[in-house]
Every structure is written in structure tokens, then in C-alpha cells.
């Protein structure tokens, strides 16, 4: 057991999109007591999910960061064609059942995901974060990690039309340097979701971590298809008074909507 007064171990999960046909789904019953099980396409994702949390448990993480888009929402532009269920209460229940067992005896912090993946009148992410016993922060979270006393900045992220996504990370870090005298504190760690893409880098000011997701490619944009193929998995971050280290768990991509056919 490590000294929590000097070290923190954080599991980072983003973009589970529970409710999508190509994202993890934990079996639940609907209001008629009919079971909704995961499909053959979803089973490997569940296998990846449990493998990730086994490593987190073996590593003895004390904290979980949930970075938004934990449920998929009603897909109003697609009229729900890509959903296990369009009932948002069922999506929330499945997401809580999927995530909550891994939050027991851990500090949990959660933030808001993309507006498109929420209900019109409420935040699905808030319902899920509170449902797993976590602390809800809204759009962003600024957390001073007790023990190492490092500051983490969490937000879901936004789309950007950059060829090199690393540019966006470097630009935000530059702005954080500029406002530090105004803030009166230093941000040591920036963590984002949204892009379903893994990236981690350290400059002289801070670490910037872009978390992968848990949803396969689905029919939305065919332009730049190769660029939109997701990284699948989660991130484990160790924070001490002297250092920050980042370790990712990435899993093999497999195709469903974009599978190779014969002709």
C-alpha cells in the first residue's frame, strides 16, 4: 500500500457512450422486466472494460475521473437508429451498473460531456456521476489533489479542425501559462476526453493527457474516416509531489459498421 498523503493514483475514463450499439452495454431489464443484453458486437468492449479495471484494481487506484459522454443520448439527428434503447433512463441505469462497482472506496470526480449526448432538459452525465457516488463539477473541474498538492484541470473537450491535434493541446497549455499570474496557482495536469483518441505529453509547464474512448466507429462522417478511427481504453496517472507519470491501456480496434467485406 502506498502513502496516499504523498501520492495519488488516478484512473481516467472518458466517452463510454453507453446506449450505443457499438459501445459497452451492461445488461438491465426494461419496465416490463424484459432483459436487454449486450450484443456480439459489444462483448469484446466489455472484455476490454473488465481487463482495464483489473489493472486499475491491481495498481490500487484511489481516484476515478469520469470525463463525460458516459451515456450516448437519444441521437436526435439519427432518430435513434444506432441505439440499444432510446429510453434515456435505461441508458443511465446501464451506465451506472457498468461504472459503479469500480468506484467503491475511491474518490470520484465527474464532468459534463458534449451537449449532443445529453437529454434536452438535464445532464445524463450528472445523473451517472451522482449515481455512482461521485462529485459533480459541471463543465470543468479544477482539483487540487490532496497529498501531492498538484492541480488537475478537467474538461470534456471541443472539436477542432486541426490536422495535428497536438497543436490544440500545446496552444491551451500556452494560454494557461499566460493566465497563471491572474489565477494565483499553477495547473500541473490537463486531462481531456471527447476525441476518442489517446495522447500524452509533458512540456516544461505541465502534462497534457487526451483520454481514449470506448465506442467503435459508427456512421456519422465518412470524410477523413481513417482520422476518426478511435483509440479504445483508459488511462492511469500517478501523481507525487515530485513527478507525474502517465500509463495507458489501449485495446485492439475491431470493425462493425466499417468491417471489410468480400466482393
Residue with more model confidence, 255 or 164: 255
The distance from CA 181 to its chain's CA centroid, rounded to whole angstroms, is: 30
Which residues, 6 or more positions from 186, have their beta carbon under 8 angstroms from its beta carbon?
151, 180, 205, 206
**pLDDT tens sequence across 116-150:** 889 988 999 999 999 999 999 999 999 999 999 99
Which residues, 6 or more positions from 171, have their beta carbon under 8 angstroms from its beta carbon?
none
Q: Which three cell numbers stand for residue 74?
A: 437519444
Q: What is the pLDDT of residue 168?
A: 81
Q: What is the pLDDT of residue 162?
A: 62
The distance from CA 95 to its chain's CA centroid, rounded to whole angstroms, is: 12
Q: What is this structure's pTM?
A: 0.94
The distance from CA 182 to its chain's CA centroid, rounded to whole angstroms, is: 30
15 with 194: CB under 8 angstroms? yes
Computed over every residue of the chain, the mean pLDDT equals 93
Q: What is the pLDDT of residue 3?
A: 72
**pLDDT tens sequence across 218-253:** 887 777 788 889 999 999 999 999 999 999 999 999
Mean of pLDDT values over 8-37: 96
Q: What is the pLDDT of residue 169?
A: 83
241 with 233: CB under 8 angstroms? no
Q: What is the pLDDT of residue 96?
A: 98
DSSP 231: P
- Domains along the chain with CATH numbers: 8-251 (3.60.21.10)
Predicted confidence (pLDDT) at residue 161 exceeds the cutoff of 60: no
Q: Which three cell numbers stand for residue 159?
A: 472539436
Strand pairing partners for 144? 151
Percent share of the chain, pLDDT over 70: 97
Amino acid at each position: 500500500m502506498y502513502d496516499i498523503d504523498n501520492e495519488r493514483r488516478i484512473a481516467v475514463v472518458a466517452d463510454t457512450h453507453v446506449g450505443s450499439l457499438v459501445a459497452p452495454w451492461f445488461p438491465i431489464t426494461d419496465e416490463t422486466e424484459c432483459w436487454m443484453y449486450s450484443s456480439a458486437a459489444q462483448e469484446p468492449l466489455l472484455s476490454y472494460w473488465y481487463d482495464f479495471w483489473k489493472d486499475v484494481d491491481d495498481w490500487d487506484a484511489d481516484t476515478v475521473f469520469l470525463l463525460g459522454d458516459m451515456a450516448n443520448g437519444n441521437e436526435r439527428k439519427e432518430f435513434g437508429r444506432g441505439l440499444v434503447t432510446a429510453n434515456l433512463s435505461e441508458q443511465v441505469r446501464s451506465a451506472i451498473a457498468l461504472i459503479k462497482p469500480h468506484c467503491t472506496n475511491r474518490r470520484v470526480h465527474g464532468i459534463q460531456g458534449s451537449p449532443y449526448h445529453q437529454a434536452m432538459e438535464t445532464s445524463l452525465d450528472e445523473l451517472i456521476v451522482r449515481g455512482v457516488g461521485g462529485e459533480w463539477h459541471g463543465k470543468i473541474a479544477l482539483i487540487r489533489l490532496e497529498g501531492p498538492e498538484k492541480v488537475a484541470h478537467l474538461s470534456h473537450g471541443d472539436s477542432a479542425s486541426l490536422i495535428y491535434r497536438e497543436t490544440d493541446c500545446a496552444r491551451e497549455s500556452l494560454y494557461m501559462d499566460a493566465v497563471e499570474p491572474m489565477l494565483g496557482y499553477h495547473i500541473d495536469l490537463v486531462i481531456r476526453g471527447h476525441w476518442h483518441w489517446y495522447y500524452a505529453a509533458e512540456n516544461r509547464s505541465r502534462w497534457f493527457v487526451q483520454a481514449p474512448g470506448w465506442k467503435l466507429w459508427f456512421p456519422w462522417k465518412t470524410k477523413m474516416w481513417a482520422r476518426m478511427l478511435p483509440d479504445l481504453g483508459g488511462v492511469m496517472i500517478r501523481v507525487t509531489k515530485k513527478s507525474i507519470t502517465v500509463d495507458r491501456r489501449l485495446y485492439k480496434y475491431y470493425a462493425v459498421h466499417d468491417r471489410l467485406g468480400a466482393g
